[in-house]
Structure 1
């Protein structure tokens, strides 16, 4: 397929896919067609894969335009920045820090936002500018206010928006503080994951207004929440679907190494037990999200081994307590060690019987940690 064929067929094929998935509502189809995604993707980007954002190698439009257009008109997130802009070149960096989000997620969140023709909208996280352009097409540029913490991303987005014929109010700053000078807003859209909803954003939303954001627990798992602001200033509402976004920079967490918890070689002073709950049963986004909603100050980390086994680490954010659960394929009981005052495994796992575990502590899954 030539570049021309990809350019002409790609947008409609993607639209059909999104509508089949019920991710692109009919009321957003005109905006989708009026705001080509390609106008908001830089020449060099990294398509995502199903197991995370930014998994593929870079595609440069100038060198491989057909592959670039295919990626743009696929239901895939496209990483556009690594390491807060410190990364250069076409190799992948350490952490993706900006992307043009997966189209099905973009339009699902816009549908949840439920904008009306005259809605006044605040967007937190301009990114590449695509969301701001879609909103401008729907409610008018004069009703869209968007803020971006990264000056480089903000400049690029502003240029793309102007080139596409849109002129929303843009700004550089801490999105968690909103934009009080233009408040109140009818709708607030947040395009970075949050561990807590910033109270400033709630205060800047009028009663009856709506906030849509990806909410991530400290433990893990993430879902889009749709909140309605009440007359008393509270904001309540349901989770409407899974999500996977980069964390709001003001709410990033930096973890302490496991060695800081042990005080000596593993298992140090850990208490040994066993469980019939497999670490595999709590590895998907939904159980992780549920665990995160039920616990506080705890987070996981999986340490894989070459034979397919792994150790699931649990640690607390106070650097006082830890737990490990060793997963081995084919087993129906799993060794657990815990140290410190908090019972991290037992706090959310009721099926952890006490007593000595089976197996040798030096067996697979208990090696160097």
Structure 2
């Protein structure tokens, strides 16, 4: 079992390529750049605001190009962003992590605008790149944009979670969408010693980490989680909120001293919690008075918890419902993490098989114990 730890990637090359092949060449007239400070999007139309559009394409922010799987109309943001052009810095990081070299063959899952496929094609050549997109309209626009730049990778319309066996084995597989379960097809279609580079996370939150996994024997892969990301999720792996029976028991109400960081939706521990809690998801509700409620849900619908933290308070009111004590599981996980030195990205890793995953710290023989 091999763990890739070398981070000396060819950063200069990819930054040069991003300048030479700017993402503006792959974007439609109407886009929704993401404001990182407010976590909101606004419409920018090249036809009415060419300068604003150009500035948005050059900014190091993600740009939404489709809402609600294409059902959205108009200029106001839709409900769910479903296709985008990623931040240039993130694209560069992922391509660096993939360690691409001439002579390799790569499968990209999630063509999107076609920009990442274009960058890889410039590096490897048309015949070496296969890119898959599940949405026919998004694929058609990407194909036109790629052709307009003189690049012609193999374009496949289909579910990238199944891979594309006709082109296998691949030296690299790069996913540009968030994944919750690594498909067995990916392990089978990447050669032993090849890399899978993908945003990966758990159902606990919408957060992802950049996973760089070395395929071992077509049934397992292992590697580090290098940095936190947040990508649109594979359509078939989007989170579905669990349903609960109305008469769950037992019900326990307590008031306890709390660490306010548990109620912070952007705290680093949010991702860690997903590695430590089994089959659990959460949400943080902000109240008008500045208070917050942390909701915890068992994915099978057998338990839930509500923890209310009022403004400036150091104690929270906890209601735990169902057989699992989800608040206790969360606080036990948080205590373990703090006492262990708060290990973070670069030390965290996963080993995946066709049936699941195991998280570890530093090396695969130091697994994280899940609740």
Structure with more contact order per residue of length (Cα contacts < 8 Å, sep ≥ 6): 2
Question: Does residue 311 of structure 2 align to residue 329 of structure 1?
Answer: yes
Counterpart of 2:221 in structure 1 is 235
**Moved runs in structure 1, 4+ residues, more than 3 A?**
260-264, 278-282
| Contact 2:163/2:185 (<8 A) preserved | yes
Counterpart of 1:226 in structure 2 is 212
TM-fit CA distance, 1:329: 2.2
- In structure 2, what is the Cα distance between the partners aligned to 1:98 and 1:62? 21
TM-fit CA distance, 1:232: 6.2
TM-fit CA distance, 1:150: 0.6
Residue by residue, what CA displacement relative to the aligned partner does 1:171-195 show, whole Å, maximum 9, x if unpaired?
1111000000000000000011111
Counterpart of 1:287 in structure 2 is 269
2:48 to 63, 70, 93: 63
1:274 to 226, 240, 255: 255
Residue by residue, what CA displacement relative to the aligned partner does 1:95-132 show, whole Å, maximum 9, x if unpaired?
00000001111111111111011110100000000000
Counterpart of 2:24 in structure 1 is 38
Question: Does residue 293 of structure 2 align to residue 311 of structure 1?
Answer: yes
Question: Does residue 187 of structure 2 align to residue 202 of structure 1?
Answer: yes
Q: Please, what TM-score do these two structures have when normalized by structure 2?
A: 0.83
Question: Does residue 154 of structure 2 align to residue 169 of structure 1?
Answer: yes
Q: Secondary structure at the match of 1:70?
A: helix
Q: Secondary structure at the match of 1:314?
A: strand
Counterpart of 1:349 in structure 2 is 331
- Decide whether aligned partners of structure 1 residues 341 and 52 sit closer, same or farther in structure 2, where only a CA change above 3 A counts: farther
2:138 to 153, 166, 182: 153
Counterpart of 2:73 in structure 1 is 88
| Contact 2:170/2:194 (<8 A) preserved | yes
| Contact 2:171/2:190 (<8 A) preserved | yes
Q: List alignment gaps of at least 5 residues for structure 2.
A: 1-7, 335-371
| Contact 1:273/1:336 (<8 A) preserved | yes
Q: Mean alpha-carbon deviation: is it higher for 70-79 or for 33-42? A: 33-42
Larger Cα-atom Rg: 1
TM-fit CA distance, 1:303: 2.2
Q: Secondary structure at the match of 1:350?
A: helix
Q: Secondary structure at the match of 2:69?
A: helix
Structure with greater strand share of residues: 2
Q: Secondary structure at the match of 2:311?
A: coil
TM-fit CA distance, 1:154: 0.5
- In structure 2, what is the Cα distance between the partners aligned to 1:103 and 1:351? 35
| Contact 1:23/1:105 (<8 A) preserved | no
- In structure 2, what is the Cα distance between the partners aligned to 1:31 and 1:117? 15
Q: Please, what TM-score do these two structures have when normalized by structure 1?
A: 0.84
- Decide whether aligned partners of structure 1 residues 184 and 24 sit closer, same or farther in structure 2, where only a CA change above 3 A counts: closer
Counterpart of 1:252 in structure 2 is 238
Q: Secondary structure at the match of 1:213?
A: strand
| Contact 2:179/2:234 (<8 A) preserved | yes
- In structure 2, what is the Cα distance between the partners aligned to 1:90 and 1:237? 41
- In structure 1, what is the Cα distance between the partners aligned to 2:177 and 2:245? 30
TM-fit CA distance, 1:262: 4.5
What is the CA RMSD across the aligned residues, in angstroms? 2.1
TM-fit CA distance, 1:77: 0.3
Counterpart of 1:367 in structure 2 is none
Q: Secondary structure at the match of 1:237?
A: strand
